[in-house]
Chain A
Amino acid sequence: MSCRHRSPRRAALLLLPAALAVAVSPLFAGEGEMGFTNYYFTDSGANKVVTTSFNLARKLLEQTTLLLDIELDHVTVPPITAVTGASRPQRDKSQPFEKSRGQVILGMEQGIGQNLTLSASFYRSQEVDYISNSAVGTISLDMFRKNTTLTLRGQYNADKVGKILESGDVFNQNKFVFTGAAYLTQVLSPTTVVDFAYDIVRLKGLLSDPYLQVGVIDDAGGTVLVDELHPDNRTRHAGTARISQFIPSIRASLIGSYRYYWDTWKVKSHTAEMKLNKYITSDLIFSVDYRYYTQTGSWFYEPEYIGTGYTTSLYRTVDYKLTPFASNNFGLSLSFMLRALGSPGSDFEFLENSSLELTYFRYFNTLDFSADIVQFAVKFSI
């Protein structure tokens, strides 16, 4: 199975959601929302990702909304000879590895009475060496005159984790994920709202990266390369608190959040984030964002694996996500609201709730890894 794609095919893939957006928009004229997003990612390991996505929320009946999301990625991973921690097949290792991924989310949201909303979605993601199928169900209940919203969500994933072999065949193994989540949103004042979230995620199956290999020093003093070996189950927990404050005097909002994470592999993390959104003019919003993250390593991470036991049944990893590190992320964003162009009754009325957004992220961590992300998004009300 070939994993490389020529540029015209790549361009066609990436333009597909945009073409879809244009093609289907007349069909969905009425109440709803449509968005088109494109982003470009590159990092210090020379990995590149280009993503384009189209999403649609269309009200079909008074309390029934159709949700559709289509997303396409094109990924380029450098040759193994380059300095990179990237995960990729050994096949054609002197050449860049390229692959595409497609994702579809199809869902329905149904209101029941004034305060209850049910939704169900099906999600599928496919790339040459990874397939994910997921079903998601959500119940959302508004209480206390809609000052409080409680949302419960359950999700089941059945994934196939593939490994592209030297022959070009793909060897698949299973991974299953069960997720339960609860969210509470509370309006505190006309300018303040807080959110609390708790997630529990249970994973079973192949939880290591099929491409990463560990150098083990055996009992004879030689180095042997063996595949990573992680435990085949893991339970993750995360709790988040967020406060959003509108500041009328300067037409700005300040959003702060804190998240604590722990799991059965003994990884613990803290995340703190602060974001300021400010109207520069009545139609131009400037945003600045900072995020700090720190984590411990997993119980089976070691800088060096010494002993023949690590070539057989003992757990081992070279995944830097299981090592202790900290990271910083800075973000800048400009959003231009198109409402000035969409006065009611004009041919461009659909622009009244539409916007353009340009975002830049700079990420770096204590493992000498850094990344730049640029995102361009267009949102239309239809």
Chain B
Amino acid sequence: MRTFIQRAAAAAVLALIAASLGGCMAVRAADRGYLADPIMEREDHFAKQTLAQKFFSSREGSLGGASGIGGGCGCAK
């Protein structure tokens, strides 16, 4: 069962990548107004951990897969 889930997840990621490549050069800059809206959360001036990343990285055994620098946490781990 676990193998099936892992394969399904891998297939989904590959499908997304394939879809991404298919979408190359599809959207002009003038048509990206919605993507720049604040609710799309595209802003990332600071490559530091967000509050959520900081919290989860000090409470759970896994780390990575998202932007964010850190070390030391002051998090009462």
Contact = CB atoms under 8 A, between A and B. Distances in A.
> Is chain B found bound to chain A in the same assembly?
yes
A77 B73 CA distance: 14
B47 A241 contact: no
Given A33-B45, A236-B64, A252-B39, A190 B24 contact: no
Contacts of B6: 260
Contact of A145 (B28, B35, B77): B28
B41 A277 contact: yes
B66 to A, nearest CB: 6
Interface in B21-55: 21, 23-29, 31-35, 37-42, 45-48, 51-52, 55
- B interface: dominant SS: loop
A315 interface: no
Interface string B9-29: 100110011011101111111
B74 A186 contact: no
B16 A241 contact: yes
Contacts of B67: 153, 181, 183, 197
A238 B38 contact: no
Contacts of B29: 145-146
A366 B8 CA distance: 26
B11 to A, nearest CB: 12
Nearest to A72: B74
Interface string B52-70: 1001100111111111011
Nearest to B67: A183
Given A121-B47, A253-B39, A188 B20 contact: yes
B65 A261 contact: yes
Contact of B27 (A37, A181, A189, A337): A189
Interface centre among B23, B42, B67, B72 (most CB of A within 10 A): B72
A327 B48 contact: no
Contacts of A295: 60-62
A86 B77 contact: yes
B45 A57 contact: yes
A363 B48 CA distance: 22
A87 interface: yes
B37 A253 contact: yes
B76 A240 contact: no
B74 A51 contact: yes
A97 B60 CA distance: 23
Main SS class of interface, A = strand
Contacts of A157: 71
Contacts of B52: 329, 331, 361
A186 B24 contact: yes
B1 interface: no
Contacts of A134: 69-71
Contact of B71 (A87, A159, A261, A277): A159
Tell which of A69, A179, A241, A329 has the most Cβ of chain B within 10 Å.
A241
Contact of B38 (A138, A187, A285): A285
Nearest to B14: A241
Nearest to A253: B39
B63 A238 contact: yes
A67 B46 contact: yes
Given A194-B19, A248-B34, A253-B39, A373 B51 contact: yes
Nearest to B25: A144
A136 interface: yes
Contacts of A244: 35, 40-42
A255 B65 contact: no
A365 B52 CA distance: 15
16 contacts: A41-B75, A55-B46, A136-B69, A145-B28, A153-B67, A157-B71, A179-B64, A183-B67, A190-B34, A196-B17, A198-B65, A199-B65, A253-B40, A261-B62, A279-B39, A285-B38
Interface of B: 6, 9, 12-13, 16-17, 19-21, 23-29, 31-35, 37-42, 45-48, 51-52, 55-56, 59-67, 69-77
Q: 3 closest Cβ contacts across the A-B interface?
A: A238-B65, A132-B71, A73-B74
